Amino acid sequence: MEAAKVAIENLTVEYPLGQTSVRALSAVHLALPPGEFCAVVGPSGCGKSTLLRVVAGLQPATHGAVTIQQQNPDTPLQAMVFQGRSVFPWMTVLDNAAYGLRQRGVPQAEREEIAERWLRLVGLGDFLRAWPRQLSEGMRQRVAIVRAFAVDPEVLLMDEPFGALDEQTRLVLQDELLRVWQATNKTVLFVTHSIDEAMILADRIIVLSSRPGRVIADIAVPFPRPRSVEAVRSDPAFGALFLRIWGLLRTETNDLVVAG
């Protein structure tokens, strides 16, 4: 079997809460092969963002471990697109997009060239010198995604990058992400609330239980690649897969309500 690019082994995370603690994740096991697009769905508060932060090295595990196999020591191991606002309001679009490259010491002319190429690819070529406040929410989210792709990380971690967008913008950005990802084939761990977004984008969907998050299903997504939003949504297998995942999540969400 191919070695995992990202190996999450027996991961448990607890947060201190007063005199006690809250367990956010419980014994999560997950191995992502290189180039896999893996989506994680689960009820609110089940530990999805926690999982990404631990994989990103931003937060320690309470038990267990995360290992990422590095292929090229000259490029960053991972880049994260955070949930909610994730561009710097005091930087232009171009500087935001080039930020990760600047952190890595890439000279100005080179980093601006790379950032500009990415911004053009997502339709922001006319806004290089604009400020984030002069963009729509969907355009700002494109900037955040470009910033992550521009550093050419081996693994991309995305936490509900389209969660705050209207449906049309989201469909356009899902298509863009598919296009960009299909050209780069990076390993992606993508958190979303949306079952249909997970089905459109991912090779595999991990369903987490309500808190503490445990893996309750690991589902292969059968739709052929290259994909488009239209092709996946009109696939005859779409409805059955949606219902299967919703069935799992509905049970978990009922538990949430019962547990108060």
Ligand X SMILES: Nc1ncnc2c1ncn2[C@@H]1O[C@H](COP(=O)(O)OP(=O)(O)OP(=O)(O)O)[C@@H](O)[C@H]1O
Binding to ligand X (CB under 6 A): which residues in 8-27? Answer: 15, 22, 24
45 binds, among Mg ion, ligand X, none (CB under 5 to 8 A by kind): ligand X
DSSP per position, 35-81: T-EEEEE--TTSSHHHHHHHHTTSS--SEEEEEE--S-TTS-SEEEE
For tokens 């949606």, name the residue: 242
Here's the x/- map for ligand X, 106-145, by CB under 6 A: it reads as ----------------------------------------
Identify which of residues 80 and 122 has a Cβ nearer to ligand X in the complex. 80
Q: Look at strands 215-220 and 204-208 and give their pairing.
A: antiparallel
Identify which of residues 42 and 132 has a Cβ nearer to ligand X in the complex. 42
Selected binder of ligand X within 44, 75, 134, 185 (CB under 6 A): 44
Identify which of residues 83 and 92 has a Cβ nearer to ligand X in the complex. 83
66 binds, among Mg ion, ligand X, none (CB under 5 to 8 A by kind): none
- Determine the Cα–Cα distance for residues 229 and 201; give it in Å rounded to an integer: 8
Binding to ligand X (CB under 6 A): which residues in 158-197? Answer: none
Check binding of 47 to ligand X (CB under 6 A): yes
- Determine the Cα–Cα distance for residues 157 and 246; give it in Å rounded to an integer: 24
Check binding of 48 to ligand X (CB under 6 A): yes
Beta-bridge partners for 109: none
Q: Which of 104, 169, 164, 55 is nearest to 47 (CA)?
A: 55
| Inter-residue contact 23 to 211 (CB < 8 Å) | yes
24 binds, among ligand X, Mg ion, none (CB under 5 to 8 A by kind): ligand X
Instruction: Write the DSSP symbol of residue 83.
Output: S
| Inter-residue contact 220 to 204 (CB < 8 Å) | yes
Here's the x/- map for Mg ion, 40-79, by CB under 5 A: it reads as --------xx------------------------------
CB burial class (10 A; 0-12, 13-18, 19+) of residue 183?
A: exposed
In the bound complex, what is the minimum distance in angstroms from residue 83's beta carbon to ligand X?
6
Selected binder of ligand X within 34, 45, 64, 138 (CB under 6 A): 45
Check binding of 66 to ligand X (CB under 6 A): no
Residues that bind ligand X (CB under 6 A): 15, 22, 24, 42, 44-50, 83, 211
Residues that bind Mg ion (CB under 5 A): 48-49
